[in-house]
Amino acid sequence: LTGVPREHRAYQYLLAHAIPGDPHHVLQTFDRWCYHCEHLSCVGPVKGRIVERLLAERAPRRVLELGTYCGYGTVLLAQGLLPGARLYTVEVNPEHAAVAEKVIRLAGFDEQKVELIVGPSEEVIPQLREKHGLLQADFIFMDHWKRCYLRDLQLLESHQLLAPGATVLADNVLFPGAPHFLQYAKTCGRYRCKVHRASLEY
């Protein structure tokens, strides 16, 4: 009714209630909005704990996120990185990217820590090395269009952007589902696969 997109409404709520520079509080405020006001398809706190645990186990230096949306997953990833580690996040929708940029900076992460790249993943991935200086990623978080998962994984492979022993974490592979990606990951012989059971967001 207001003509203001819900992503912008969520950001206004963050501005009013979140503590600037406190990523944990920014995520908690996001969660409050999503539980009590409007649903946003962010990672959420339940799956967020899986992401946090894997980050702590792997301690990656270079992280690539495909699908920034409003920046929830980006803040979650960035707060779990060691000093000197860097996060590259890719969002196709310029309006969502504009909101995410504000959320990321509100949480206290500068461009040295988090680089937001706006554009389709199939165009951005081939340019990551030359244009953005990402030689290889140790940790990849896929949370964009499920139909793009397999294509983008194979793009990362063909451009040699996966570091040896890299972790690829893909959200919602069972529902809404990314069956071709899942089948490839299980049968191509390059990956050891584990499915983490979780509920849908919020």
The residue ranges of the chain whose pLDDT is under 70 are: 1
3-state secondary structure (DSSP) of residue 151: helix
pLDDT for residue 1 = 65
Q: Confirm whether 131 is a catalytic residue.
A: no
Catalytic pick among 65, 91, 138, 171? 171
Q: Confirm whether 143 is a catalytic residue.
A: yes
- pTM over 0.85? The answer is yes
pLDDT for residue 129 = 98
Catalytic pick among 47, 65, 146, 152? 146
- For the four alpha carbons of 57, 58, 60 and 66, in that order, the dihedral sign comes to negative
Q: What share of the chain is helix, strand, coil (3-state, %, to 5)?
A: 50, 15, 35
Element (H, E) at 87: strand 86-91
Q: Is the peptide bond before 176 cis (omega within 30 degrees of 0)?
A: yes
Q: Which domains does the chain have, with CATH numbers?
A: 6-188 (3.40.50.150)
pLDDT for residue 199 = 86
Catalytic pick among 91, 138, 143, 152? 143
Asked if residues 115 and 86 have their Cβ atoms less than 8 Å apart, the reply is yes
Q: Confirm whether 146 is a catalytic residue.
A: yes
Q: Confirm whether 93 is a catalytic residue.
A: no
Distance, in Å, from the CA atom of 202 to the CA atom of 36, rounded to the nearest integer, reads: 10
Catalytic pick among 93, 172, 186, 194? 172
pLDDT for residue 131 = 98
Give which of 140, 150, 155, 145 is closest to 184, Cα–Cα: 150
Q: Confirm whether 201 is a catalytic residue.
A: yes
pLDDT for residue 7 = 95
pLDDT for residue 200 = 84
Using one digit for the tens of pLDDT, what is the confidence trace for 42-52? 999 999 999 99
